[in-house]
Amino acid sequence: MHRYGGTDLVRRERRWPGVAVDRVRWHAPAGTTGEICKGEHQLFVSVAGSAGRLRARAADGSRYTGCSFPGAVTFVPAGCHRFAQYEGGTLDYIGIRIRPEACPRGVPAGGLRPFTNRPDPLVHRLALALDANQDGPAGSLFAESAAALLLAHLHRAGGGDDGDAPPRPSRRAIRQVVDHIEAHLHSALRISELAEVAGLEPHHFRRAFKAATGLPPHRYVTERRLARAAELLRDPNGPPIADVAARVGFSSQSHLTTAFGRQYGLTPAAYRAAHR
């Protein structure tokens, strides 16, 4: 159930496996009400504006009265009923919908609690990063990582136990993951897939991999994709740039061009010309 009054003046939706992100400008006349109870975890992060003073209550008995502010975070776990009434206004927000199966194994299904308009810099930064995230395999890997991190963070912020210290993988296990990445740069790598290679749970794997390599998995994979692209571009007999993009896991030549320019300061075409 998702019944909200008001009008979406602008809405842009992005989707990856298990995660969806909406960038919305919403206008709520005075007295607008909203009611939600869905099978997905719902995060709403205020970016600008305000829908006026609101009154909210959730199924766990929690209540809130106040106004939104830039960076304010509202969370409604899957299966939780929440009702809200607004005095009215126009609000820009980022909505994040996460399927329950994306929840890290160490976070129990009942371990997430609803709340309204809390400041949370980590959630705010991750929401902005997801809103700017690219499509394709690299974007999917980041979205999967961000969703699990968000849910683990919300669990801890709600007083949940983070569990025992994660096991330390062997150097051989990390080497196997690195080799797997190198052999599958063309494909849509998933955190769950890499964690299985390492023999770890996904939420433990992310931390262990960063500790071993200095980079979170999605960043490491992106850098390796770009390094492989650079190798192909330096090859005098290398394939066309569109084929380079496909071989290293970018969804299109334009996505490769954007990421390559950020990393190397040149377009792929200019880089190829400079190395011939």
Q: Secondary structure of the chain in the HEC alphabet?
A: CEEECCEEEEEEEEEECCEEEEEEEEEECCCCEEEECCCCEEEEEEEEEECCCEEEEECCCCEEEECCCCCEEEEECCCCCEEEEECCEEEEEEEEEECHHHCCCCCCCCCCCCEEEEECHHHHHHHHHHHCCCCHHHHHHHHHHHHHHHHHHHHHHCCCCCCCCCCCCCHHHHHHHHHHHHHCCCCCCCHHHHHHHHCCCHHHHHHHHHHHHCCCHHHHHHHHHHHHHHHHHHCCCCCCHHHHHHHCCCCCHHHHHHHHHHHHCCCHHHHHHHCC
Position 137 pLDDT exceeds 80: no
Residue 146 has pLDDT above 70, yes or no: yes
pLDDT of 49 reads 93
pTM: 0.71
Mean pLDDT confidence for 144-162: 76
Contact between 129 and 77 under an 8 Å Cβ cutoff? The reply is no
In this prediction, residues 232-252 reach a mean pLDDT of: 93
For residues 75 and 43, the answer to whether their CB atoms sit within 8 Å is: yes
Please state, in angstroms and rounded to a whole number, the distance separating the CA atoms of residues 114 and 35. 14
Q: How confident is the model at residue 242 (pLDDT cuts 50, 70, 90)?
A: very high
pLDDT at 163 over 70: no
Q: Which domains does the chain have, with CATH numbers?
A: 2-157 (2.60.120.10)
Per-residue confidence band for 188, with pLDDT thresholds at 50, 70 and 90? confident
Give the pLDDT confidence score for residue 167 in this predicted structure: 64
Task: Please report which confidence band the pLDDT of residue 109 belongs to, taking 50, 70 and 90 as the band edges.
Answer: low
Q: Does 161 score more than 50 pLDDT? A: no
Structure tokens at 172: 């051989």
What does pLDDT average to over the chain? 88
Task: Note whether 75 and 40 are within 8 A (CB).
Answer: no
Q: Given a cut of 70, is residue 136 above it in pLDDT?
A: no
The pLDDT confidence band at residue 73, using thresholds 50, 70 and 90, is very high
